[in-house]
């Protein structure tokens, strides 16, 4: 002999005073409907039932008369050989029974709402849909008109499971889909003949927006790690469960990527600053070289002495504070020249030399901590024309 077991569905926990989101409300609603549906008498008062709407209790009886198709009424009317008085008494009994059943139905739902909403649900409700609509308004979960903009305020909170957030965010869009009978004004008042559904592209967009809400760096990371899987009929929506399951493993990679980008940007900025400083020094040296007031024409067509003939013994600086330029020294310049400046301020260095020097500094992770002195060249007594020509030509080449 077989034994059947009944597993009664428990009632949902009563709603809190505040802090109810769309997903939480949906879970509560679905659990409630499944719970009250265990009583066969409740089918009369649920959507699609014969008594799905009723009058508010504050105005008297909720049900004023039995529905013509009420099975108990039809059965009573089909009893043979009964008097009219007996039929009226039976119908009156049935009407009282239906009101009692409805009161039990409404009260049971009211006890699962927050106590501040109990009275309104009990006394003012006119249908189960009315109760759900009333609760949506109370918790700010309405999905029509300007309430659509509330989706923008649905932000990720640290600690929320990523999959849960995605489902909540997606539910925000699902609840805003248009229903049968709604008109779409921007489509020439198109009358919808069926409920709106999410398109495949819209589903992919919701996944993408969810990733961006969780961390703006995630879309590029997901593209790098999963882009090669999105081929043929496979889309972002298909990969969504795997992606959201692996999001907790991505922060370390994301931080590494961000640190790398920051370092690269900083290196470029520092390099640009260094290059600008070197360029400015070169420009200043060009200007300083032009401080000679000797007419330019007097230098033209004058033969310059060979650097070999101009070679002089190397004179080392006597202390660390003395200035010395190895380039001018090796070029055979007069000691007055190669002891007047350091190599970093030498007018013989071109912009290309400066660029090479900058690259060496960056490769060796060096920084220029102080600005070298700008050389100021003036024609000293005892300098011959060859030295002046050298400075003049160096200034012109730098241009």
Structural domain spans, the chain: 22-142, 148-181+194-249, 257-398
The pLDDT of residue 54:
95
> What pLDDT score does 177 carry?
87
**Given the structure tokens 């033209």, which residue do they identify?**
300
- Distance between CA atoms of residues 25 and 290, nearest Å: 82
Residue 53 Ramachandran class (φ > 0 left, ψ -120 to 50 alpha, else beta): beta
Mean pLDDT of the chain: 78
Give me the pLDDT at residue 276, please.
Answer: 62
Closest CA to 38 of 7, 14, 12, 13: 7
pLDDT band at 292 (very low <50, low <70, confident <90, very high): very low
What does the alpha-carbon distance between residue 177 and residue 153 come to, in Å, rounded to a whole number? 18
Answer positive or negative: Cα dihedral of 17, 18, 22, 23.
Answer: negative
pLDDT at 391: 54
pTM of the model: 0.50
In whole angstroms, give the CA distance from residue 144 to residue 175.
Answer: 9
pLDDT confidence of residue 334: 83
226 — pLDDT class (breaks 50, 70, 90)? very high
* Tens digit of each residue's pLDDT (9 = 90 or more) over 128-170: 999 999 998 898 887 666 667 878 888 998 888 999 899 989 9
Q: Is the dihedral of CA 214, 219, 221, 226 positive or negative?
A: positive
**pLDDT beyond 90 at 373:** no
Q: How high is the pLDDT of residue 3?
A: 53
Q: Are 171 and 22 in contact (CB under 8 A)?
A: yes
Any idea which of 68-77, 293-302, 360-369 has the lowest mean pLDDT?
A: 293-302
Q: Can you tell me which residue has the tokens 């900025």?
A: 269
Q: What's the rounded mean pLDDT across residues 34-41? A: 92
What CA–CA distances, in Å, run from 201 to 40, 109, 175, 216, 372? 42, 39, 18, 20, 61
H-type helices in 125-250, by residue range? 128-138, 162-174, 200-214, 218-226, 236-246
Task: Kindly report, residue by residue over 309-357, the tens digit of the pLDDT.
Answer: 444 445 555 545 578 888 888 878 888 888 888 877 787 777 777 777 7
- pLDDT at residue 59 is higher than 70: yes
């Amino acid at each position: 002999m077989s034994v059947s077991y009944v597993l009664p569905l428990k009632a949902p926990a009563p709603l809190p005073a505040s802090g109810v989101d769309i997903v939480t409300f949906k879970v509560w609603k679905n659990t409630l409907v499944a719970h009250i549906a265990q009583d066969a008498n409740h089918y009369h008062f649920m959507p699609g039932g014969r008594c799905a709407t009723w009058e508010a209790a504050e105005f008297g009886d909720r049900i004023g008369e039995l529905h013509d198709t009420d099975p108990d009424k039809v059965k009573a009317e089909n009893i043979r050989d009964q008097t009219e008085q007996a039929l009226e008494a039976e119908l009156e009994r049935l009407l009282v029974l239906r009101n009692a059943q409805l009161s039990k139905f409404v009260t049971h739902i009211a006890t699962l709402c927050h106590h501040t909403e109990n009275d309104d649900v009990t006394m003012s409700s006119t249908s189960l849909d009315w109760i759900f609509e009333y609760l949506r308004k109370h918790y700010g979960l309405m999905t029509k008109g300007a309430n659509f903009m509330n989706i923008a305020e649905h932000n990720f909170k640290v600690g929320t499971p990523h999959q849960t957030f995605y489902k909540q965010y997606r539910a925000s869009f699902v609840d805003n889909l248009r229903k049968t009978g709604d008109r779409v004004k921007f489509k020439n008042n198109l009358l919808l003949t069926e409920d709106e559904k999410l398109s495949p592209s819209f589903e992919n967009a919701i996944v993408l927006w969810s990733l961006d809400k969780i961390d703006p760096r995630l879309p590029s990371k997901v593209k790098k790690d999963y882009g090669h899987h999105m081929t043929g009929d496979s889309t972002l929506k298909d990969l969504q469960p795997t992606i959201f399951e692996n999001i907790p493993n991505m922060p370390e990679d994301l931080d590494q990527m961000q640190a790398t980008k920051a370092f690269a940007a900083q290196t470029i900025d520092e390099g640009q600053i260094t290059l600008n400083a070197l360029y400015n020094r070169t420009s200043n040296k060009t200007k300083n070289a032009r401080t000679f007031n000797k007419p330019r024409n007097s230098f033209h067509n004058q033969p310059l002495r060979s650097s070999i003939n101009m070679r002089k013994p190397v004179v080392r600086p006597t202390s660390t504070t003395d200035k010395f330029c190895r380039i001018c020294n090796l070029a055979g310049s007069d000691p007055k020249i190669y002891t007047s400046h350091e190599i970093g301020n030498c007018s013989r260095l071109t912009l290309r030399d400066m660029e090479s020097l900058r690259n060496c500094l960056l490769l060796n992770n060096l920084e220029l901590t102080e600005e070298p002195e700008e050389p100021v060249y003036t024609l000293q007594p005892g300098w011959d024309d060859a030295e002046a020509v050298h400075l003049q030509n160096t200034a012109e080449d730098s241009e």
